[in-house]
Structure 1
Amino acid sequence: MPRYTAPTKDVQFLLHEVLNVSDSDVPGYSDLEPEFTGAVLEEAGKIASQVLQPLNSVGDQEGCRFENGVVTTPAGFKQAFEQMKDGGWPGLDMPEAFGGQNMPSVLGTAVGEFFSGANQAFTMYQGLTHGAASAILAHGTDAQKATYLPKMVACDWTGTMNLTEPHCGTDLGLMRTKAEPQEDGSYKITGQKIFISAGDHDLAENVIHLVLAKIPGGPDGIKGVSLFIVPKIMTDEDGTLGARNGVSVGKIEEKMGIHGNSTCVMDYEGATGFLLGAEHKGMRSMFTMMNEARLGVAMQGLAQAEAAYQNAVDYAKDRLQGRDVTGAKNPDGPADPLIVHPDIRRNLMDQKSFVEGARAFMLWGASLIDRSHRSHDAQAEGLISLMTPVLKGFLTDKGYDMTVQAQQIYGGHGYIEEWGMSQYTRDARITMIYEGANGVQALDLVGRKLAQNGGKHVMGFFEMVKTFCKEADETSDTFKAQFVDPLKAASKNLQAAGMYFMQNGMKNPNHALAGSYDFMHLFGHVCLGLMWARMAQSAENALSSGTGDATFYETKLTTARYYMTRQLPATALHLARIQSGADTVMALDADLF
Structure 2
Amino acid sequence: MPYTSPAQDIYFTLSHVLDFKSVQGTDRFADATDETTRAILTEAARLCDDVLAPLNRAGDTHPARLENGIVRTSPGFSDGYRAIAVGGWVGIASSPEFGGMGLPLTLATAVNDMMAGACLSLQLNPLMTQGQIEALEKHASDTLKELYLPKLISGEWNGTMNLTEPQAGSDVGALTTKATPNDDGTYAITGQKIYISWGDNDFTGNVCHLVLARLPDAAPGTKGISLFMVPKWLPNADGTAGAANALRVVSLEHKTGLHGSPTAVMSYEGATGWLVGAPHAGMAAMFTMMNNARLGVGTQGIGVAEGAFQKALAYAQDRQQGRAKIVEHADVRRMLATMKAETFAARAIALDCAISLDMATATADPAATARAAFLTPIAKAFGTETGISVSNLGIQVHGGMGYIEETGASQYLRDVRVTAIYEGTNGIQAMDLVGRKLMDEGEAAFALLEEIETATEKARASLPDLADPVWQAAETLREATEALLARDPASRMGASVPYLMGFASVLGGHYHLAAALSGDASRTRLAQFYISHLLPKHAGDLARAHVADDVLMSLTAENLATP
TM-score (norm 1): 0.92
Aligned twin of 1:103: 103
SS at 2:553 equivalent: coil
Aligned twin of 2:485: 502
Aligned twin of 1:124: 124
Aligned twin of 2:536: 569
Alpha-carbon RMSD across the aligned residues, in angstroms, is 1.5
SS at 1:515 equivalent: helix
Cα deviation code 1:410-461 (max 9, x no counterpart) = 001001011001100001101100000111111111111111x343212222
Q: How does 1:185-264 map to 2 (within 5 A)?
A: 185-264=185-264
Aligned twin of 1:467: 454
Residues 140-149 or 583-592, more deviating? 583-592
Q: Any conservation in 2 of the 1:180–1:188 contact (CA below 8 Å)?
A: yes
Of 407, 422, 425, the residue aligned with 1:419 is: 407
2:336 is aligned with 1:348: yes
Aligned twin of 2:511: 531
- 1:485 Cα deviation after fit: 1.4
Aligned twin of 1:89: 89
2:273 is aligned with 1:306: no
C-alpha separation between the residues in 1 aligned to 2:207 and 2:437? 34
Aligned twin of 1:115: 115
Residue identity opposite 1:498 in structure 2: T
Which runs of 5 or more structure 1 residues have no equivalent in the other structure? Answer: 323-334, 541-552
Residues 576-585 or 260-269, more deviating? 576-585
- 1:468 Cα deviation after fit: 1.9
Aligned twin of 2:443: 456
C-alpha separation between the residues in 1 aligned to 2:74 and 2:2? 19
C-alpha separation between the residues in 1 aligned to 2:551 and 2:327? 42
C-alpha separation between the residues in 2 aligned to 1:49 and 1:378? 39
- 1:26 Cα deviation after fit: 2.4
Of 493, 500, 506, the residue aligned with 1:513 is: 493
Cα deviation code 1:353-407 (max 9, x no counterpart) = 1112222222111111111112222211111101111111111112210110011
Of 340, 352, 358, the residue aligned with 1:370 is: 358
Aligned twin of 1:7: 6
- 1:300 Cα deviation after fit: 0.6
- 1:136 Cα deviation after fit: 0.4
C-alpha separation between the residues in 2 aligned to 1:389 and 1:18? 21
In the alignment of these two chains, the number of paired residues is: 559
Aligned twin of 1:545: none
Aligned twin of 1:268: 268
Aligned twin of 2:556: 589
SS at 2:324 equivalent: coil
Of 362, 378, 387, the residue aligned with 1:390 is: 378
C-alpha separation between the residues in 1 aligned to 2:521 and 2:32? 26
2:77 is aligned with 1:77: yes
SS at 1:6 equivalent: coil
- 1:197 Cα deviation after fit: 0.1
Cα deviation code 1:33-91 (max 9, x no counterpart) = 33332222122111111111111000011110101110010111111211222211212
Q: Any conservation in 2 of the 1:177–1:192 contact (CA below 8 Å)?
A: yes
Aligned twin of 1:325: none
Q: Any conservation in 2 of the 1:12–1:34 contact (CA below 8 Å)?
A: no
Cα deviation code 1:103-141 (max 9, x no counterpart) = 111111111111110000001111111111110011011
Residue identity opposite 1:587 in structure 2: S
SS at 1:266 equivalent: strand
- 1:466 Cα deviation after fit: 2.7
Residue identity opposite 1:463 in structure 2: E
C-alpha separation between the residues in 2 aligned to 1:6 and 1:129? 22
Q: Any conservation in 2 of the 1:192–1:266 contact (CA below 8 Å)?
A: yes
C-alpha separation between the residues in 1 aligned to 2:191 and 2:27? 44
Residue identity opposite 1:555 in structure 2: S
- 1:591 Cα deviation after fit: 2.6
- 1:3 Cα deviation after fit: 2.4
Residues 488-497 or 518-527, more deviating? 488-497
Cα deviation code 1:507-566 (max 9, x no counterpart) = xx33x11111101101111111121122222x13xxxxxxxxxxxx10001001111111
- 1:567 Cα deviation after fit: 0.8
Aligned twin of 2:38: 38
Q: Any conservation in 1 of the 2:346–2:386 contact (CA below 8 Å)?
A: no
Residue identity opposite 1:480 in structure 2: P
C-alpha separation between the residues in 1 aligned to 2:25 and 2:310? 35
- 1:172 Cα deviation after fit: 0.8
Q: Any conservation in 2 of the 1:147–1:237 contact (CA below 8 Å)?
A: no
2:18 is aligned with 1:19: yes
C-alpha separation between the residues in 2 aligned to 1:94 and 1:276? 18
SS at 2:402 equivalent: helix
- 1:28 Cα deviation after fit: 4.8
TM-score (norm 2): 0.97
C-alpha separation between the residues in 1 aligned to 2:281 and 2:398? 50
Q: Any conservation in 2 of the 1:251–1:265 contact (CA below 8 Å)?
A: yes
C-alpha separation between the residues in 1 aligned to 2:200 and 2:231? 11
SS at 2:486 equivalent: helix
C-alpha separation between the residues in 1 aligned to 2:149 and 2:36? 27
- 1:15 Cα deviation after fit: 2.2
Aligned twin of 1:547: none
Cα deviation code 1:134-190 (max 9, x no counterpart) = 100110111110010000001111000000000111111111101112222211111
Q: Any conservation in 1 of the 2:29–2:362 contact (CA below 8 Å)?
A: no
Q: Any conservation in 1 of the 2:194–2:266 contact (CA below 8 Å)?
A: yes
